[in-house]
Structure 1
Amino acid sequence: MIEISTSRTVKDLEGIITLQKKNLRADLTVEEIEQQGFVTVSHKLDDLEKMHHHEPNIIAKDGEKVIAYVLGMTEQSKNDIPRLVEMYESFDHIQYHGKSVAEYQYIVVGQVCVDKDYRGKGLFDQCYQAYKNFFEDKFEFAITEIATINLRSMKAHERIGFKTIDTYTDQMSTEWNVVVWDWR
């Protein structure tokens, strides 16, 4: 039986890392990247514990196995995880409805992933609905960045309501779409 909940234990966070490692872009073939999508960042347990200290993540489990997750990162996370500073500072320069993104109360989707064996069963949508239900009273919207070559992820995010508000190319020549799911 599949259960969707918030992450609660170190074992849950370790399950996120296990699933993440199976879906890292660097470890996938070109065909897998094109057909299945990918995740870019490999988190350490310490990073996930710091993020979890501020807000939990949404996870789906089949028994004890984490089979999907949506990570929640707040602005406080940038102080704990230095590699997030650049992303958060970029929000100062992105306009959304006439204001800087930084002027809003928002949560960052740190990453989303569904186990390959469970794709196509609605878990992506169910996890994101749980994410919205959990965070919409605290935040005005969810925001994240998706590599433009990650077409599967872009289509899935657009399907549930994310809209592209900015596109940029990073120092590694990767083009990113900044997308927002407005809950107001």
Structure 2
Amino acid sequence: MKPILYKRASTLDELEQIRTLQLQNSSQNISSEEKLQEGFVTVQHSVALLEQMNSACAHIIAKDNDIVVGFALVMLSGFRNEIEVLIPLFERIDELVPKDKTYVVMGQICIDKNHRKQGIFRGLYHFYKEELHHEFDYLITEVAAMNLRSMSAHEAAGFKIIDTFEEDGIVWNIMLWDWT
């Protein structure tokens, strides 16, 4: 068995596989029970937007042979207005992060159901830091407080909660991983 390969996304096929994995794990497409046990993703990106984001700074993916089994999206602040639901996040980051610090937003992380509990989450984040720590001081993300699996996984990876807010009845934690 070949080990999982961590790399930057570079083909349209890889971006389409990210989109497929995203849809399979969307909060709209899984049961409440599964959301609690397995976690979920909230935002859905079009392949076109994934491509634009990838051109600016390539996404991090995990591949098992030719199949994308995990991804961690890279979202530069220049994309702050592309996804309406994320605009409040960027506005809060502007208030929280000192002007002399650089950051990148981890737009979303997801692991294929059959590949969970194998260290891929940590592997994606390790590779993410390895690839981008020389360009950015911080990696920032937001996690729904009710997404307990994701909250504990992010804390274990090194993220700390720097702010909490409520939007449309959902409590969100803004989390920061300091790479300095």
Structure 2-normalised TM-score?
Answer: 0.94
Deviations 1:93-112 (A, max 9, x none): 23xxxxx3555200100000
Q: Structure 1: 5+ residue runs without aligned partners?
A: 95-99
* Percent identity of equivalent pairs: 40
Provide the residue aligned with 1:125 in structure 2.
122
Q: Deviation per CA, 1:124-172: give whole Å up to 9, x if none.
A: 00110000000000000100000000000000000010000000001x1
Equivalent position of 2:38 in the other structure: 36
Is 1:7–2:4 an aligned residue pair?
A: no
Amino acid at match of 1:137: H
For these two proteins, the number of residue pairs brought into alignment is 177
Report deviation, 1:76.
Answer: 1.6
Judged with a 3 Å threshold, the aligned counterparts in structure 2 of structure 1 residues 102 and 24 are, in CA distance, closer, same or farther, namely farther
**1:18/1:82 Cα in 2 relative to 1: closer, same or farther (>3 Å)?**
closer
Using the alignment, how far apart are the partners of 2:98 and 2:109 within structure 1? 21
Where do 5+ consecutive residues of structure 2 fail to align?
Answer: none
Instruction: Give the superposition deviation at 1:91.
Output: 1.4
Query: How is 1:13-28 mapped onto 2 (pairs within 5 angstroms)?
Result: 13-28=15-30
Match of 1:174 among 154, 165, 170: 170
Q: How does 1:14-93 map to 2 (within 5 A)?
A: 14-78=16-80, 81-83=82-84, 84-93=86-95
- Out of 102-111 and 68-77, give the one that drifted further: 102-111
Matched, 1:155 2:138: no
Instruction: Find runs of 4+ consecutive structure 1 residues off by over 4 angstroms.
Output: none
RMSD of aligned residue pairs (Cα, Å): 1.3
Q: TM-score, normalised by structure 1?
A: 0.92
Task: Sort the Cα spacing of 1:48 and 1:102 in 2 relative to 1 into closer, same or farther, 3 A.
Answer: farther
Taking a change above 3 Å as real, the CA distance of residues 101 and 150 of structure 1, as seen in their structure-2 partners, is: farther
Displacement after TM superposition at 1:85 (Å): 3.3
The answer to whether 1:144 aligns with 2:141 is: yes
